[in-house]
Amino acid sequence: MLDGVFHLGHASIKIQKKLIIYVDPFNIKDSANDADLIFCTHSHYDHLSIQDIRKISKTSTTIIVPKESEDKVKELGLKVITVEPDHQYTASSISFTTTYAYNIGKQFHPKEKKWVGYIINVDNIKYYIAGDTDSVPEIQNLNVDVAFLPVGGTYTMNWKEAAMLANKLKPKYAIPIHFGDVVGSISDAKSFVEQIQMPSEGKILR
């Protein structure tokens, strides 16, 4: 289930299965130009980085972004699919669902921006990448196999809130992200993993 799945640092995920999928590429080290699909959860620089997208994209790459981010990616010359929360889509034979991603009680990620998380279905495995969000009501009952949850606090839920959400969702694996760069520490990630209750398993992918 985690074979071919990599946390590239901060909130960046790579899923290398029948297609090569990136989510929120940021601080990419190698210019692989191998992406079939690129998902961006919102337009902040550490989630939608034009410089990093250029390192991984090729002429046939499709990029998936919230409607609000469409203008930012036009310069790339790629096929663009725009999305909004709580909808189902298909791209290159991959089905995915968008989720709500926003803050409660802080204004870094307002709900009205309609930024998203993604549940990406690959080989009948549902990978949930939450995006920059608090533990909002709309994501309390998701049915997912692998959950990538932000743990850094400040701009998102903190590790305690993320662990509580993971223990409610009960995925097979819960993976901490959004730490070690802009905000959050390896200590936050380890604390999150330690609080995961069976039958879920907490993992740090580095």
How does residue 206 score in pLDDT terms, banded at 50, 70 and 90? confident
Q: pTM of the prediction? A: 0.96
* Residue 21 confidence (pLDDT): 98
Query: How confident is the model over 108-154, as pLDDT tens digits?
Result: 999 999 999 999 999 999 999 999 999 999 999 999 999 999 999 89
First to last CA, the chain: 16
* Residue 184 confidence (pLDDT): 83
Q: How far apart are CA 1 and CA 85, in angstroms?
A: 26
CA proximity to 131, closest of 16, 47, 27: 47
* Residue 183 confidence (pLDDT): 83
* Residue 181 confidence (pLDDT): 84
Q: Cβ of 144: how many Cβ atoms within 10 Å?
A: 24
Query: How confident is the model over 73-100, as pLDDT tens digits?
Result: 999 999 999 999 999 999 999 999 999 9
The CA radius of gyration of the chain, in Å to the nearest whole number, is 15
Average pLDDT over residues 165-184: 94
Query: How confident is the model over 24-55, as pLDDT tens digits?
Result: 999 999 899 999 999 999 999 999 999 999 99
Please name each of the domains of the chain with its CATH number. Answer: 5-202 (3.60.15.10)
* Residue 180 confidence (pLDDT): 84
